Amino acid sequence: MAKVNHPRRVTIREVAAQAGVSVQTVSRVINGHPDVSDETRARVQEVITRLRYRPNGIARSLAAQSSQMLGVVASGFQLFGPAQLLTGIEQQATELGWHLMLQIVDPTKPNDYDRVAANLISQNVEGVIWAYPELTGERERAFHQQIQPHAPIVFLSMGPQPGSAVLNVDNRYGARLATEHLIARGYRHIGIITGPMALWSAQQRKLGWQDALASARLPHRSRQVVEGDWSAASGDAGLMKLIAQFPQLDAVFASNDQMALGVLKAADRLGRRVPGDLGVVGFDDIPESAFFKPALTTVHHELMELGRLAVRELHRVIQAQREGKPATATSLVLQPRLVVRESA
């Protein structure tokens, strides 16, 4: 039988020697410790990459009496927004040396939150990112009470949670930007296709639409509103319903780009020219939006950066706690911006 030669594992001492630093400095770089200069950190990272050094995660955890693991709670990542959040979370976690434990919640099962909390606690996660938006907050508060004694928690893309850090995009401001742009372009009969109204982001975007219309002294009645589910199909159906109940419609704010795509499809089928007969603005700025026909005017927001910030905030708190310093996660809001293209 032929002998299998396994590649020799590079040691932390070899990394330190080639980088010209101590083993302790290499360890600090790996663990994201702040007390390392940018120049030294870059030099150590270059050696780690070149030598393909992989830290022994088990040994690190035992030595530090920690799991080096963060929990992520979500409801799935089929849509653009959640997928962007997870990408940012995963990228930043990898850069800072954290492992992720992903837990998918089934909202149809009342006790699924208890299952998720038990799993996270049993795996000794050191922090939790809640990336499952919900308006009521009841289940979030119950979940928080179970997790908080064991690990700090950060909530993403949802309403304020008393005593907890929430990282968010200013959805209301973004929707106002979108609607004000339509008004500035001369549209006066502006409808909205919202996301699922049980979600904080959907409610905030509707409020931003109302703010802009009220400021311009334009009406905003129930017949100008159709609820969608974030899908292109619901955007298509939404435009048909809006036209049926609000015939003078001349513009639509679609609360995400997928629904805006459906609006464009329905408008084409109806023979309504965009932007001549109908102005359309979306929200998200998905990569494909620039290739819609016509190219979509939309609201850009940094969901990937939001995910990265969540990891950095938890990392800061955990590092401080390891050093015996009091620390709590801080809430923050990112500002979106309008991207003007051809649809309005």
pLDDT for the residue 33: 66
Kindly state which CATH superfamily the domain 171-300 is placed in: Response regulator (3.40.50.2300)
Where in the chain do CATH 3.40.50.2300 domains reside? 73-169+303-335, 171-300
Alpha-helix runs per DSSP H in the chain: 12-19, 23-30, 38-51, 57-64, 80-95, 112-122, 138-147, 171-184, 200-215, 232-245, 257-270, 303-322
pLDDT for the residue 23: 82
* β-pair type (165-169, 332-334): parallel
CA distance from start to end of the chain:
70
Q: Cα-flanking dihedrals φ and ψ of residue 83, to 5°?
A: -65, -40
pLDDT for the residue 57: 52
pLDDT for the residue 159: 77
> The tokens of 211 are what?
């703010």
pLDDT for the residue 137: 59
Kindly state which CATH superfamily the domain 73-169+303-335 is placed in: Response regulator (3.40.50.2300)
How much is the pTM?
0.77
pLDDT for the residue 123: 85
Q: Mean pLDDT, 10 residues at a time, over the chain (344 residues)?
A: 53 89 82 76 87 64 67 80 89 92 81 83 89 65 78 84 83 98 98 93 96 96 95 98 96 98 97 97 95 96 93 91 82 95 97
CB 133 within 8 A of CB 76: no
- The candidate with the shortest Cα–Cα distance to 73, out of 101, 99, 98, is 101
DSSP tag of 231: S
* β-pair type (69-74, 99-104): parallel
Helices 12-19 + 38-51 axis angle, to 10: 130
pLDDT for the residue 173: 98
pLDDT for the residue 8: 66
